[in-house]
Amino acid sequence: MTSLSPDTPCSCDCFVSLPPASEIPAVIFAKNSDRPRDEVQEVVFVPAGTHSPGSRLQCTYIEVEQVSKTHAVILSRPSWLWGAEMGANECGVCIGNEAVWTKEPVGEGEALLGMDLLRLALERGSSAQEALHVITGLLERYGQGGSCREDPTSFCYHNTFLLADRTEAWVLETAGRLWAAQRIQEGARNISNQLSIGTDISAEHPELRTHAQAQGWWGGQGTFDFAQVFSLTQQPVRMEAAKARFRAGRELLQQQQGGITAEVMMGILRNKESGICMDSGGFRTTASMVSILPRDPTLPCVHFLTATPDPSRSVFKPFVFGAGVAQAPQVLSPTFGAQDPVRILPRFQTQVDRRHSLYRGHQTALGLMESEQDRGQQLRQQQRDLEQDGLEAVRGLLTGEWAPEPQELGGLFQAFVEKESQAYA
């Protein structure tokens, strides 16, 4: 089992708001992905597909059986792996995952990463509940495991997930192949690198309680509190810090009850005081996402993605599934084929430059913000103006004031990526 050093990167924060907590009749989803500080996260569009019977699918480390049809997905992912930290599909399902450590030992054998499970669930699930069943089914069959960072020193963890669609959300928390899930039908909820499901369990692995009893973690009688039973008795330093972030996130949501919007969620993701906007030691918030999932099925779901680190100095750019959607090349990292360090055994013995062009431009902009006050302020204002343009466009789209052609709507994200790239040029 891999031990956790005090500086081990293991922080993420996911949020969801459902009416009546949301200001509008919509589910609002948000996530900060906190990863090793130099890791590049790309935004990848994968179109819907049909697949031959019996075909196999290569994930980060292992192959799984492919299904006959897969949904179109938009993914924000560390560019060295197959899965994703967060994303959405064309059915209006959003998922974010988080690292967690429990009493159940973490194996270092290669299996499915939590990020692989997330992408598989988006490609195969047409609702949040269906996506949850995809994850638990794959977990039972293939297990979870393998190093979760691009480094020769193995770093492994189990996963929690926040899944949302237009009507509801689910929290799914795992310990090896075991799991518990909680259904959220109203109000606001957040998760932060710890078990948070107590006695309010909506669904669970059939052997969850018998396993806990066999291990001596639960007496078998009375109340069964999943977080209490499966959480580590001695929490690592970073896990204790996650408790503070969880409480701060919950308070920030409570302060905005009834008025939560995409902009409010962006503000929470940018909150540095709480540690939710992370920049500490060897890791930071490397990418962020906020989604609006309207209850009205005739309205499109909108997904804002940064594709760059530090949301407090990044632009949330709107993406909408549509006829004209294509990959934005500026947010796609270079590929290295068979020569990729993730493909050569032993893995991760060398490093490659995975920076995409928007990431490079953003790095230059961050440097100017820190070294040249006037130019830095000008760039930050350009970022704010561009993001505001995107929010206004989405507001018009959801109120019916703006009715673009499908081709224009599908190219919305690409258009904003190009404008941001031009600001950094």
- Tokens 């069943």 appear where? 133
Domain membership of residue 7 (yes or no) is no
Q: Is 10 a catalytic residue?
A: no
Range(s) of the domain holding residue 360: 13-424
Question: Along the 425 residues of the chain, how does pLDDT read in single tens digits?
Answer: 333 443 444 579 999 999 999 999 999 999 999 999 999 999 999 999 999 999 999 999 999 999 999 999 999 999 999 999 999 999 999 999 999 999 999 977 999 999 999 999 999 999 999 999 999 999 999 999 999 999 999 889 999 999 999 999 999 999 999 999 999 999 999 999 999 999 999 999 999 999 999 999 999 999 999 999 999 988 777 677 788 999 999 999 999 999 999 999 999 999 999 999 998 878 899 999 999 999 999 999 999 999 999 999 999 999 999 988 999 999 999 999 999 999 999 999 999 999 999 999 999 999 999 999 899 999 999 999 999 999 999 999 999 999 999 999 999 999 999 999 999 99
Domain membership of residue 3 (yes or no) is no
Compute φ and ψ for 393, nearest 5 degrees: -60, -40
Exposure of 190 in the CB half-sphere (CA atoms within 13 A): 26
Distance between CA atoms of residues 358 and 283, nearest Å = 20
Domain membership of residue 218 (yes or no) is yes
Q: Which tokens belong to 14?
A: 């996911």
Domain membership of residue 264 (yes or no) is yes
Domain membership of residue 199 (yes or no) is yes
Distance between CA atoms of residues 93 and 121, nearest Å = 9
Domain membership of residue 6 (yes or no) is no
Which residue of the set 10, 12, 91, 156 is catalytic?
Answer: 12
The 10 Å Cβ neighbour count of residue 11 is 25
* Cα distances (Å, whole numbers) of residue 99 to 31, 162, 193: 13, 12, 5
Compute φ and ψ for 239, nearest 5 degrees: -70, -35
What per-residue confidence (pLDDT) applies to 3? 38
Instruction: Give residue 171's identity as a one-letter amino acid code.
Output: V
Distance between CA atoms of residues 7 and 150, nearest Å = 16
Question: Model-level pTM?
Answer: 0.96
What per-residue confidence (pLDDT) applies to 363? 97
Number of domains in the chain: 1
User: Can you give the CATH number for the domain in which 266 is found?
Assistant: 3.60.60.10
Domain membership of residue 5 (yes or no) is no
Domain membership of residue 66 (yes or no) is yes
